[in-house]
Structures are given as structure tokens and as C-alpha cells.
Structure 1
Amino acid sequence: MRRDVPAEDSGAGIEDVPAQRTFVVRRWRHGTVTAEDDRLAEEVPVALEYNGISHAVMLATPADLDDFAIGFSLSEGIVDNAREIYGIDVEAGGNGVTVKIEIASAAFARLKTRRRALAGRTGCGLCGTESLDDVMRVPRPVQSTASFDPSVFDAAFAALHNRQTLLRDTGATHAAGWLRADGTLVLVREDVGRHNALDKLAGALSSGNEDTKTGAVIVTSRASYEMVLKTASIGAGILAAVSGPTALAVRMAEATAVTLAGFVRSGSLVVYTRPERLRIG
């Protein structure tokens, strides 16, 4: 049984597509069964169209989809900067959501030369990539001047957790946050997919109100290859994750000059690349 949560209470990015829904469930606890309402994070197909041509379908939480469209376009190298995006229209349909993105003709011409069908799944940022060259695309090394006292990360992750409204209601979402060097957490985006959350953060950062050369990205997930790639695409010099990285992620961080820290929790962390940006002695 399902009841929709009103959009205004759910944080949904577009009207009529809530970011969470309420189900009646049976909860078993210490031998006793009770009927309860339980909130679940929504996950819908989000089709991304560029100048009228379908490019990708991702499974995502239907919130902050404008940010998602911008961040995806930037991190995938479809546009070089947000100024090449002229307009975004989000349309809900019976089978999901279509995000129609109008981009500059030069960017669209580049896109057509490397067309691919990308069928995304939660937890996979590379599904459907046609060639190894596409997978191993390496952004230019970041030019970051970030310098962080590692003690700020504990409070930052606590603040990130407190601002995860969807996680609090559903227990099913990841988050990416933007952290200033003074420890201020200024932006948070959530999604059922860790890479989607980071794309949404990238889109929010594209307004230019934050200096991406001096801040850090913090994420509630492991530090996989695509998380490092997206961090480098933002121009951020630090990626701090609560879980560990993959070997490929470390190689990508080395290639893009990103400081990669994993297992950031309880006053400790492990630095894999570029430790000079963290004041750890």
C-alpha cells in the first residue's frame, strides 16, 4: 500500500514528483509485529535530453534536478562551463522525468561526435560508456590553494548528517557537501546515488558564489573513481569521504592533483594523495 507525500513536504525538485513516499509496512521487533507508516526515498528514471536529442537515462531522486543537469553536463565534459547551458526544462511524465537542456551549438557539435547511450544505475557512474577512452577521461589537474585543518572534518560531517532531510526520513540517501576552509558547510545535496548527489552539488556550485579553489568536497560514500573525476571537474582540490577509495580512484586523484582522504571519521583520516593540503604535520 502506498500514499504519496505532498511535494511541498518532500523536498521534491519538481511539482507532482515527490522525493519520498509513504508506505504502510509491517515491522517485526522482538517478536511483536506492528503496522506502521514508513517513508521511502523515491527513485525515478531521469532522461537527459540535449537540444532535443536523448543522451542519458539515470535513476535518481527527483529533487534539485536543475542542479543535477548542470553538474552532469559539466562532469561528463558535455559543456566546458555553465555559460554554455542556455536553458533547462524539467517535465514529469508517466514513466519518469525528462530534463531538456539547451546547450551552445559548439558544445552540441562536440557531443554528437561521441554519442553514447548511457543507461545509469544507482552506484554506477560509468554504465553504458562505449569505449575505454571515455571511461578513462582525465580532467586537467586542479589548481587548488586549499589548506585545511583536519579537525574541521568531524564537525563538518556531523553538520552534513544533520542537514540530510531525506536520509533522516528514509535512511536511503547519500549526500555531498561543500566545505569552506573555516569549516563552514555551505551547500548540501542528496540523492539515492552517490554520484548523482555530487553532480547536484557541482550544479549548485556553478553559480560562482563559492571559490572552488579553496574549498573541499565531503561525501557520505566511498571514494570511487567517478567521485574523484567529478571533484576534479569542479576544480576542487580536496575530496574527503567517510569510506575508503578504490585503487583506480587513487590513480585518478594523482593524475588530477586532488587531495584524496578516506575513512574520515572520529578524529582520524587516511590521506592517499597530495597530503600538503591537510595540516597534519
Structure 2
Amino acid sequence: MSDATTDATFTRISASGDMVEQPRAVAIEAPVAIEVNGLGYAVLMATPDDLVDLAYGFVLAERLVDHAGQVVEVDMHPVATGTMLRVTLTPECHSRVADRVRHRVSESSCGLCGIENLEQALRPLPPVIARSRAEATGIFRAAAALRDHQPLGRATGAAHAAALCAADGAIRLVREDVGRHNAFDKLIGAMARGTTGWDGGFALLSSRCSFELVEKAALAGCPLLATLSAATSLALERAAAVGLPLRTLVRADAMLAS
């Protein structure tokens, strides 16, 4: 049993009505509290492995830092109900953290506050400058191989994966989590910590293509985002606005390009 799984016993019921007790690995979902420069920032429900990667990817996605060099340290502290991540950023980031905390905790109790919160939710994104060299064959190759790189997903059937893929479809790096956002943050954080670039490749996600994932991709400079499920309307709009190519509903023999 790893840090990402626990064991449980279920009753397996077949179509014919037979019932058999069956042990099975279950993906762990637990609270992860993130504190940044001494300020309580967020509580995520996440799989408790690769949490340092998660912290790096999270502060990048939240625009609290511009690059990994602004993360001084990440301390992990197990608590009774989960894990506390204490993230220390360089001093020039503190005003940014304080401003974001103010927006996150404000309530939409009046029209002005509501407008302010909406503007924060849909902040402008940087244009995607990098370009992927991936052809359709590379994306099909990566999608076909993804399951082989998902030990948590295979064991539990309850985890998303985010993969860094080379242009030819070779899978270079994968992170998993019960949450699709967390999996992508972990991948981006691992890349940032290892100073690993996209190098003309692309990201492949096991989830649908939501606007939050498009935003994470754009902020990480991802040149192409591919997902196994379909895109939402806002994801399509945000991707088009910043020039991020999407390949969605990727199947063995077809995909949607936008």
C-alpha cells in the first residue's frame, strides 16, 4: 500500500445477482492545506503524494510567482486530518500573495464585490508563444500509451493523469491525482522544479478540457493541450483568445482540433 492508496473490501454484485467480497485498492483523497508566506490560502482535496510538485504548480497557476526561483522552500507537515503545506516565497511576492488572499476571502455581498470577483476569475492570460511540433500520429501514440504510465489509475480506477509528451508522442513525465487540476499542477510543478521544458511537445490530460486547465496550460507556456474528453465552451473561448491549440475527445482513431 502506497501513500496514494488504502485498502477496502467491497461486495461485488454481478449481473446475475452473485455477491462476492472483494478487496480493492482505493485512491486516497485527503485535505491539503496550503499556507503561503504565513497566510492561509487554500484547502485542496488531493492525493497525498508529489505534494511538493503540487505546491510549485499551484503557486505558479495562482500567479503568486513568475518562476520556480521565487519559491524559497516548501515544508510539509502531517496533521490529524491531512497535510499542511507551508510555502515560502521571496519577499517581492508578498504583496501579490496578500492581494490574492484578499480577493479569495471576499464575499459577493454587493454588486461591486461580485463584479470584482468575476474579473479576478477571468483575468487576462498571456499569449501562447511556443509552438508544438506534434502531429496527429504523436498525439494518438501518447493517448494509447497513457494508461501504462498510470499506476494509481490502474490500481484504483479513480485518478486523473497529466502527462508531458514529446512531439513524437513519447511520454516523458506523468503525475496523478484524484483531482484533474491537482494532477496538472503536479506535472507543471515537477517541470518547474526540474527546469524541464515543453521542447515542442504537448500536454495530455485524462480529463475533460475545462477553462481552468486551459488557463494552467497557458500560464505554463504549454504549446498544445490534448485531453481525452471534450472541451467546455469557456475552455474553447479562452484557448482561442491566447492562441493555445486544443486536441480534445482524443480517441484511438480520431480527435477534435480547435
Global fold match (TM > 0.5): yes
Q: Which residue of 1 aligns with 2:29?
A: 43
Alpha-carbon displacement from aligned partner over 1:82-124 (angstroms, at most 9, x marks no partner):
10000011111101110010101111211102315869xxxxx
**Alpha-carbon offset, residue 144 of structure 1:** 0.9
Question: Which consecutive aligned stretches of 4+ in structure 1 deviate over 6 angstroms post-superposition?
Answer: none
Question: Distance between the aligned counterparts of 1:38 and 1:165, measured in 2?
Answer: 14
Q: Which residue of 2 aligns with 1:15?
A: none
Indicate whether 1:25 and 2:10 are aligned. Answer: yes
Question: Distance between the aligned counterparts of 1:20 and 1:214, measured in 2?
Answer: 34
Question: Distance between the aligned counterparts of 1:190 and 1:108, measured in 2?
Answer: 30
Q: Which residue of 2 aligns with 1:248?
A: 234
Alpha-carbon displacement from aligned partner over 1:156-206 (angstroms, at most 9, x marks no partner):
122211111111111001100001112211010101110110000000110
* Contact 2:103/2:117 (<8 A) preserved: no
Q: Which residue of 2 aligns with 1:101?
A: 87
**Alpha-carbon offset, residue 213 of structure 1:** 5.3
| Unpaired runs of at least 5, structure 1 | 11-17, 120-129, 273-281
Three-state SS of the structure 2 residue aligned to 1:131 is: helix
* Contact 2:166/2:199 (<8 A) preserved: no
Question: Distance between the aligned counterparts of 1:251 and 1:227, measured in 2?
Answer: 13
Counterpart mapping for 1:200-219 below 5 A: 200-212=186-198, 214-219=200-205
Q: Which residue of 1 aligns with 2:45?
A: 59
* Contact 1:88/1:101 (<8 A) preserved: yes
Q: Which residue of 2 aligns with 1:68?
A: 54
Question: Distance between the aligned counterparts of 2:38 and 2:246, measured in 1?
Answer: 38
Q: Which residue of 1 aligns with 2:111?
A: none
TM-score normalised by the chain length of structure 2: 0.91
Q: Which residue of 1 aligns with 2:133?
A: 147
Indicate whether 1:231 and 2:230 are aligned. Answer: no
Equivalent position amino acid for 2:255 in 1: L
Going from structure 1 to structure 2, the CA distance change for 1:19 and 1:57 (only over 3 Å counts) comes to same
**Alpha-carbon offset, residue 207 of structure 1:** 3.1
Counterpart mapping for 1:78-227 below 5 A: 78-116=64-102, 131-212=117-198, 214-227=200-213
Considering only aligned residues, what root-mean-square deviation do their CA atoms show, in Å? 1.7
* Contact 2:32/2:44 (<8 A) preserved: yes
Question: Which structure: greater helix fraction?
Answer: 2
User: Would you say how many aligned residue pairs link Structure 1 and Structure 2?
Assistant: 248
TM-score normalised by the chain length of structure 1: 0.84
* Contact 1:138/1:229 (<8 A) preserved: no
**Alpha-carbon offset, residue 208 of structure 1:** 5.0
Question: Distance between the aligned counterparts of 2:194 and 2:19, measured in 1?
Answer: 52
Question: Distance between the aligned counterparts of 1:24 and 1:225, measured in 2?
Answer: 37
Question: Distance between the aligned counterparts of 1:231 and 1:54, measured in 2?
Answer: 25
**Sequence identity (%):** 37
Q: Which residue of 1 aligns with 2:112?
A: none
Question: Distance between the aligned counterparts of 1:199 and 1:90, measured in 2?
Answer: 17
* Contact 1:240/1:264 (<8 A) preserved: yes
Alpha-carbon displacement from aligned partner over 1:18-55 (angstroms, at most 9, x marks no partner):
21110111111232111121111000010001122110
Question: Distance between the aligned counterparts of 1:186 and 1:85, measured in 2?
Answer: 24
